Structure 1
Amino acid sequence: MTERRFNPEHTEKLDNPERRKVLPPEKLLELLEIQDNDIILDLGAGTGYFTIPAAGLTNGKVYALDVAPQMLQYLGKRVKEEKLDNVELIEGAIECIPLAGQIADHVIASFVLHEVEPLEKGLQEMSRVLKPGGTVLCIEWEKKQTEQGPPLRHRIHSNELAEAFEENGFLVEKLTYPSDQHYLIVARACAHNC
């Protein structure tokens, strides 16, 4: 586990009432306009904060990727409890996603891109697995000191990340600030060069 990776022993931080109030997963998923048979890839799926509600919005496959086996075990139990048959757990890193190209209609990257080294590799992998015109929902910590979240040196400023998306084959359609600590980007994979 690199210094940037989330410690799986702190799962309670990933899913708590306070986070749900500020970042309600069902409401945020509406930004992706998920259709009946869309295929979704949740990067750094963790406890299933987005995986579980996303699986209820599509009959298509929801791939839940995480680098930590403990997280996938936890999520696997939740998937069974919820009786979801369209979730597939995948162990792997964002820098080398173990999926075929152009497989996903949507990618969710919630609080994980600050862990990716190098960032460009992660964005290129996201672009590779997305179908042309597919969308990304990205949520990150703004690059400023806050009580919670990763160290300041690991954070990516919202404008910097938006620029990195554009430099790696995406069109940024939305950049908003759901709280003073977080930002949200919706980006679309360009069918051709943007």
Structure 2
Amino acid sequence: MNHMHHHNHPDQNFSTKIAFLDSRQRERLIPPEELISQMPIEENHTLLDIGAGTGFFTIPMAESTSGKVYAMDPDRRMLSIIEDKAKEKGLTNIELIQDYIENLNLQNDSVDFAMSSLILHEVSSLSKALSKIYEVLNAGGHLLCLEYEKDDLIVEGPPMSIRIGSEELENTLSLIGFEIVKKTKINDAIYTVLAVKKHRQF
């Protein structure tokens, strides 16, 4: 297997990484279509996929709404993969944003549903990132966070030191003004928290 070391394919590693990401996520998680279908997403909703990666969730999200789906990822190459998948499926409602979640710059109160999948443990400030998402969500808009549980028994996933335990996540969401709707254990390593931006009290 030494053909990987030839330097005439600098992108060989990238495409291997992509194939790996796609297949790993596919077998680790419940089917993305299934997860999305259980979410409070309506036909005309505007959606946001944060840390969209290879479009694992972006594509089924775009299939579930006639509204716009923003796919956000700092890696241009990831976004071009989403672009290719969208073309292939004839989806025209995806808008790509190449940036980090800390720089999220959509109009306030413009998004109905946001999803952040295995990305929050990489942000420099959890509360800053979640506040950004809070701002762009409509009142009544939902955020689904998918993360690795902080549990020393689970070795798979990112280093323990940077993981965000579900308790910490729920606390931070609540402090910012979200209401926790539901926490689900997807498997040993991964949990989801669904939160809603409350309607403002006047």
Fold conserved between structures, TM > 0.5: yes
Question: 1:31 & 1:54 partners in 2: Cα distance?
Answer: 12
The 8 Å contact of residues 40 and 142 in structure 2, kept in 1 or not, is answered as no
Query: CA separation in 2, counterparts of 1:114 and 1:158?
Result: 12
Which one-letter code corresponds to 1:102 in the other structure?
A: D
Quote the offset at 1:20 in angstroms: 4.2
Q: Distance in 2 between matches of 1:61 and 1:184?
A: 23
**Residue type of the alignment partner of 2:111:** A
Instruction: Verify the 8 A CA contact 2:75 2:98 in the aligned structure 1.
Output: yes
State the partner residue of 2:169. Answer: 161
The answer for the alignment partner of 1:30 in structure 2 is: 37
1:107 is paired with a residue whose SS is: strand
User: Could you give the per-residue CA deviations for residues 54-106 of structure 1, whole angstroms, max 9, x where no partner exists?
Assistant: 11111000000001111111211111111100111111111120211111100
Whole-Å separation in 2 of the counterparts to 1:151 and 1:21? 18
2:197 maps to: 189
Q: Match of 2:113, as an amino acid?
A: H
2:43 is the counterpart of 1:40 = no
Q: Which of 179, 182, 186 is the equivalent residue of 1:174?
A: 182
Measured in 2, the distance between the counterparts of 1:8 and 1:129 equals 33
Work out whether 1:90 is the aligned partner of 2:97.
Answer: yes
Write the letter of the residue equivalent to 2:47. Answer: I
Partner of 1:149: 157
Are the aligned partners of 2:59 and 2:86 in contact in 1 as well (CA < 8 Å)?
Answer: yes
d(CA) in 2 for partners of 1:158, 1:8: 32
TM-score of the superposed pair, with normalisation by structure 2: 0.86
Q: Specify the alignment match of 1:129 in structure 2.
A: 136
| Superposition RMSD in Å | 1.8
SS in 1 for 2:167: helix
Q: Gaps spanning 5+ residues in structure 2: where?
A: 1-13
Same amino acid, percent of matched pairs:
39
**What is the match of residue 56 of structure 2?**
49
Name the SS of the counterpart of 1:114 in structure 2: helix
Q: What corresponds to 1:3 in structure 2?
A: none
Which residue number in structure 1 is paired with residue 26 of structure 2?
Answer: 19
Q: How far apart are 1:37 and its partner, in Å?
A: 0.6
Secondary structure, in 3 states, of the residue corresponding to 1:85? coil
Deviations 1:12-58 (A, max 9, x none): 34321663463211111123221111000000000001100011111
Which moves more between the two structures, 9-18 or 85-94?
A: 9-18
Return 5+ residue gaps in structure 1 as ranges: 1-6
Task: Output the amino acid matched with 1:69.
Answer: R
Aligned amino acid, residue 72 of structure 2: L
Quick check: 1:55–1:62 contact (8 Å CA) kept in 2?
Answer: yes
Q: How far apart are the structure 2 equivalents of 1:131 and 1:13? A: 35
SS in 1 for 2:22: coil
What residue identity is the alignment partner of 1:156?
Answer: I
1:177, 1:184 within 8 Å by CA — same for their partners in 2? Answer: yes
- The SS at the match of 1:14 is helix
SS in 2 for 1:150: coil
Which amino acid is the alignment partner of residue 64 of structure 1? A
